[in-house]
Amino acid sequence: MSARPGVPLSGHRRRPSAEELEWQLKARCVEVDPELFFPERGELTKAAVRVCWSCEVRKECLNYAITHGERHGIWGGLSEKRRTRLENSLRNTA
């Protein structure tokens, strides 16, 4: 599992370029414990989501997670379940 947003899991198609990861330099998540963004099943995610919603690169983070198929953790303020719902709704409107 990734320790930080932007560090791809081994099953990803390709490693992102440095330019694709520049948003991470401004990410608020680097200021807190990374475990906050990878809760165990049933653990609360409110603290992580609160960090994300106050982050200036939340949209870039969410886009990265969707583009790179991140399936674990909180990315851009959304859990895996919510990202999947968003992806499905985007596919249905395209």
Q: Answer for the pair 74, 81: CB distance below 8 angstroms, yes or no.
A: no
pTM for the structure as a whole: 0.78
Using left for φ > 0, alpha for ψ between -120 and 50, and beta otherwise, residue 14 falls in beta
Q: How confident is the model at residue 47, as a pLDDT?
A: 94
- pLDDT, averaged in runs of 10, over the chain (94 residues): 47 72 93 92 90 96 91 94 90 80
Give which of 66, 72, 71, 57 is closest to 88, Cα–Cα.
Answer: 66
Residue ranges covered by each domain of the chain: 19-93
Q: Answer for the pair 65, 77: CB distance below 8 angstroms, yes or no.
A: no
At 40, which amino acid appears?
Answer: E
